[in-house]
């Protein structure tokens, strides 16, 4: 019999008979590893353990500890769930059921509705399927055979999927376990018994193939892990996220409200929330001025004709609000660029003036569909830390570098980690192919020059240009879009912007749209969740609260309060007739960084006793020393 050479994971080379199953090869090499191996990579291609090798190959194992392994495990669990759902309910058609970042889902077409109460039934059946340890069996069949098979089962969605495959696909693979058959590329785990920890989480609507014109299906979400402990940890993080929800903390910390009477998606900032915003905005102004930006301000509404000129009317109208004044149509701005264009055009520009960097904390309105509104992170009115940079094409690189540095600095200041993505031309867009290519190349080039690691996000650019998106990661590792740099050759064209070059001729400048924190509202929402409401001292709306032991300490308390206010420290006083423990509890729940206890001892020695938010008692220290302490914690930022 023919022998083939297999390079094993430890780089040792062994000879096996052609046609040997991978499962047998692994068994002969290291039986133990089978416990956690879900599939293997054969010459870098993922295949099942049941695969038979016919050619010389290099083998590496994929176990549940790896990202790919977990993906495969979860995909297999989704098949088990689909089987359980079909076994439990009549008349259910299966659609698609992939692994996703944090788990898996499966879409079903079912006349009745699934309720979370049904999960227990489904999970019980799933556990039976797991206990039965059914092997996942792969079979390759012709398209016609597959169509016949699924048509016979009444699975019209699967039939549609097969019929829509490219013509050159002659064969498809199907997987079965315990009588359940599914169209699937694979690979899968060897058998259902390998599944140890899973949980169904939620059910929600989802359009067939993600198109809102199609039928709404029911999607059941679940997650799975290699070990019970990991599942428990994941569920703990979900609970933690709930505790940190900025909508809940926003109310508890009295930061803001979103009120039906005022309107959906419209934020009303309370004193503490407005303070927090002001701190961030002051920081923004200072940092922008440092970096050569100039502050500008534009109106909230501009004539419709101008929006037609810019292309917003044709491409962004459904997101805009309009109004009329004395028969003249106006559009409420959804972006800040128009005024900035007019500022540029207000006089003749020389190449010596460039780059021009116009910065505006610009409030915009966008008509978002009701279903997408969400606390502070998705609203209808928000303020962007927006800037438009007008420069020569050869200044693009250094400008983008400057912005990237700015973003990196801001993320460090606020304590976030982040990732970078390059988003390319979307279907609905304006501008020539040439401009798009130039703009995309400019952004990509800047990323490369700066050795930045990035991912490509196809078709996710703005309608007027490609963009670099910075996605920050919060304390719970969730990603949020905040900073973005967009390259635009179109708007300068439409507004016929020019500058006089060294050659005395007119040239067209290039424009960069960019935000650093993005929407101040969204950023605040993310910030609240990142810090769980316990802001660092420099951001805390209230930095210190004075707590007196009894009312004979009021006069000294008042004098301390005055000294702190004079020193620019944001202080509050709690001189109520309550026990100290009660006041500490309240200050603690308000997550105030410093509680200053004032009793007989402090009055006597003219000092305060700070108690930190983490419970640490700093003992009696002089007021000057406390002021110094707080300033020291802020100076690095302000």
Partner RNA sequence: GCUGGCGUAGCUCAACAGGUAGAGCAGCUGAUUUGUAAUCAGCAGGUUGCGGGUUCGAGUCCCAUCGCCAGCUCCA
The residues assigned a catalytic role are 337, 366, 384, 386, 388, 467, 513
**CB nearer RNA, residue 290 or residue 582:** 582
**CB nearer RNA, residue 395 or residue 486:** 486
How far is 329 from 569, CA to CA, in rounded Å? 48
Binding positions for RNA, 499-528, rule CB under 7 A: 515, 518-519, 521-522
**CB nearer RNA, residue 190 or residue 466:** 466
Please tell me whether residue 477 binds RNA under the rule CB under 7 A. no
Please tell me whether residue 426 binds RNA under the rule CB under 7 A. yes
Binding positions for RNA, 56-115, rule CB under 7 A: 113, 115
Binding positions for RNA, 591-610, rule CB under 7 A: 595, 597, 599-602, 609
Please tell me whether residue 550 binds RNA under the rule CB under 7 A. yes
Binding range to RNA, per CB under 7 A, among 274-282, 325-333, 403-411, 575-583: 575-583
**3-class state of residue 116 by DSSP:** helix
How far is 541 from 404, CA to CA, in rounded Å? 29
CA-nearest of 486, 489, 497 to 434 is 489
Distances (CA, A) of 187 to 27, 53, 121, 552, 594: 19, 15, 27, 75, 56
Q: How many other CB atoms sit within 10 Å of the CB of residue 314?
A: 12
| Structure-token match 């028969």, residue found | 327
Please tell me whether residue 169 binds RNA under the rule CB under 7 A. no
Q: At 499, list the tokens.
A: 């500058």
Instruction: Please state the closest distance from residue 531 (CB atom) to RNA, in A.
Output: 15
CA-nearest of 140, 239, 118, 152 to 185 is 140
Please tell me whether residue 567 binds RNA under the rule CB under 7 A. no
**Element at 222 (helix H, strand E):** strand 216-225
DSSP state of 488: E
Contacting residue, 349, 366, 570, 573, with RNA by CB under 7 A = 366
The sheet with strand 321-325 has its strands ordered as: 301-303, 328-332, 321-325
The answer to whether 412 touches 636, Cβ cutoff 8 Å, is no
Instruction: Please state the closest distance from residue 291 (CB atom) to RNA, in A.
Output: 20
Binding positions for RNA, 190-209, rule CB under 7 A: 202-207
Please tell me whether residue 272 binds RNA under the rule CB under 7 A. no
The answer to whether 47 touches 39, Cβ cutoff 8 Å, is yes
The DSSP code sequence of 362-407 is EEEE----GGG-BTTTB-SEEEEEEEEEEE-GGGHHHHHHHHHHHH
For the chain, give the number of residues.
Answer: 638
Q: At 638, list the tokens.
A: 């302000």
CA-nearest of 174, 176, 223, 219 to 196 is 223
Binding range to RNA, per CB under 7 A, among 56-64, 366-374, 389-397, 536-544: 366-374
**CB nearer RNA, residue 28 or residue 202:** 202
Contacting residue, 282, 405, 458, 617, with RNA by CB under 7 A = 617
Please tell me whether residue 472 binds RNA under the rule CB under 7 A. no
Please tell me whether residue 336 binds RNA under the rule CB under 7 A. no
How far is 614 from 592, CA to CA, in rounded Å? 10
Please tell me whether residue 577 binds RNA under the rule CB under 7 A. yes
Instruction: Please state the closest distance from residue 177 (CB atom) to RNA, in A.
Output: 26
| Structure-token match 């390998």, residue found | 194
572 DSSP β-pair partners? 545
Please tell me whether residue 370 binds RNA under the rule CB under 7 A. yes
**CB nearer RNA, residue 20 or residue 423:** 423
- # residues contacting RNA (CB under 7 A): 72
Sign (positive or negative) of CA dihedral 626, 627, 632, 637:
positive
**3-class state of residue 295 by DSSP:** strand
The answer to whether 218 touches 107, Cβ cutoff 8 Å, is yes
Binding range to RNA, per CB under 7 A, among 189-197, 298-306, 340-348, 584-592: 584-592
Please tell me whether residue 212 binds RNA under the rule CB under 7 A. yes
**3-class state of residue 329 by DSSP:** strand
Instruction: Please state the closest distance from residue 493 (CB atom) to RNA, in A.
Output: 20
Please tell me whether residue 462 binds RNA under the rule CB under 7 A. yes
Instruction: Please state the closest distance from residue 206 (CB atom) to RNA, in A.
Output: 4
Binding positions for RNA, 112-151, rule CB under 7 A: 113, 115
**CB nearer RNA, residue 146 or residue 217:** 217
**CB nearer RNA, residue 103 or residue 492:** 103
Binding range to RNA, per CB under 7 A, among 36-44, 260-268, 406-414, 438-446: 260-268
Contacting residue, 111, 117, 166, 371, with RNA by CB under 7 A = 371
| Structure-token match 């993310």, residue found | 526
**CB nearer RNA, residue 131 or residue 589:** 589
Please tell me whether residue 580 binds RNA under the rule CB under 7 A. yes
């Amino acid at each position: 019999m023919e022998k083939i050479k297999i390079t094993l994971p430890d780089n040792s080379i062994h000879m096996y008979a052609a046609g040997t199953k991978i499962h047998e090869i692994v068994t002969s090499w290291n039986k133990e590893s089978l416990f956690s191996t879900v599939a293997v990579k054969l010459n870098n291609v993922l295949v099942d353990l049941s695969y038979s090798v016919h050619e010389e190959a290099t083998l590496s194992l994929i176990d549940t500890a790896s990202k790919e392994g977990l993906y495969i495990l979860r995909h297999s669990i989704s098949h088990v769930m689909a089987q359980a759902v079909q076994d439990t309910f009549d008349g259910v058609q299966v659609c698609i059921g992939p692994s996703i970042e944090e788990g898996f889902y499966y879409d079903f077409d079912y006349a009745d509705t699934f309720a979370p109460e049904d999960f227990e039934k489904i999970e019980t059946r799933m556990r039976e399927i797991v206990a039965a340890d059914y092997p996942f069996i792969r079979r390759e069949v012709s398209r016609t055979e597959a169509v016949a098979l699924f048509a016979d089962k009444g699975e019209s969605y699967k039939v549609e999927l097969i019929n829509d495959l490219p013509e050159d696909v002659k064969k498809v693979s199907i997987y079965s376990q315990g009588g359940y058959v599914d169209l699937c590329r694979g690979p899968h785990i060897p058998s259902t018994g390998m599944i140890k920890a899973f949980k169904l989480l939620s059910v929600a609507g989802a359009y067939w193939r993600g198109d809102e014109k199609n039928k709404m299906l029911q999607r059941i979400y679940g997650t799975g892990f290699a070990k019970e402990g990991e599942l428990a940890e994941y569920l703990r993080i979900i609970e933690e996220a709930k505790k940190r929800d900025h909508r809940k903390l926003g109310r508890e910390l009295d930061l803001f409200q979103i009120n039906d009477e005022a309107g959906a998606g419209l934020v009303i900032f309370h004193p503490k929330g407005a303070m927090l915003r002001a701190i961030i905005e002051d920081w923004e102004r200072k940092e922008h001025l440092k970096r050569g930006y100039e502050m500008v301000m534009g109106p909230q509404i501009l004539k419709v004709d101008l929006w037609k000129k810019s292309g917003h009317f044709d491409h962004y109208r459904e997101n805009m609000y309009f109004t009329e004044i004395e028969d003249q149509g106006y559009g409420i701005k959804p972006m800040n660029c128009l005024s900035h264009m007019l500022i540029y055009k207000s006089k003749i520009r020389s190449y010596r003036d460039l780059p021009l960097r116009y910065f505006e904390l610009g409030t915009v309105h966008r008509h978002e569909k009701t279903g997408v509104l969400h606390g502070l992170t998705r609203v209808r009115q928000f303020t962007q830390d927006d800037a438009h940079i007008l420069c020569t094409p050869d200044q693009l690189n250094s400008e983008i570098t400057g912005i990237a540095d700015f973003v990196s600095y801001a993320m460090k200041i606020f304590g976030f980690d982040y990732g970078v993505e390059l988003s390319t031309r979307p279907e609905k867009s304006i501008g020539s192919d040439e401009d798009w290519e130039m703009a995309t190349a400019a952004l990509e080039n800047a990323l490369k020059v700066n050795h930045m690691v990035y991912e490509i996000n196809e078709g996710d650019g703005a309608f007027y240009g490609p963009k670099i998106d910075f996605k920050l990661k919060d304390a719970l590792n969730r990603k949020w879009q905040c900073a973005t740099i967009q390259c635009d050759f179109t708007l300068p064209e439409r507004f016929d912007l020019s500058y006089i070059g060294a050659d005395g001729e007119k040239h067209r400048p290039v424009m960069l749209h960019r935000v650093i924190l993005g929407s101040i509202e969204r950023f605040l929402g993310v910030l609240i969740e990142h810090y769980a409401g316990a802001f660092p001292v420099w951001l805390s709306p209230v930095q210190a609260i004075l707590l007196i032991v009894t009312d004979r300490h009021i006069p000294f308390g008042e004098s301390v309060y005055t000294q702190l206010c004079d020193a620019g420290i944001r202080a509050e006083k709690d001189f109520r007739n309550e026990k100290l423990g009660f006041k500490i509890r309240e200050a603690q729940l308000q997550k105030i960084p410093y509680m200053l206890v004032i009793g007989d001892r402090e009055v006597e020695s003219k000092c305060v006793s700070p108690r930190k938010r983490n419970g640490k008692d700093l003992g009696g220290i002089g007021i000057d020393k406390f002021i110094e302490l707080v300033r020291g914690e802020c100076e690095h930022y302000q």
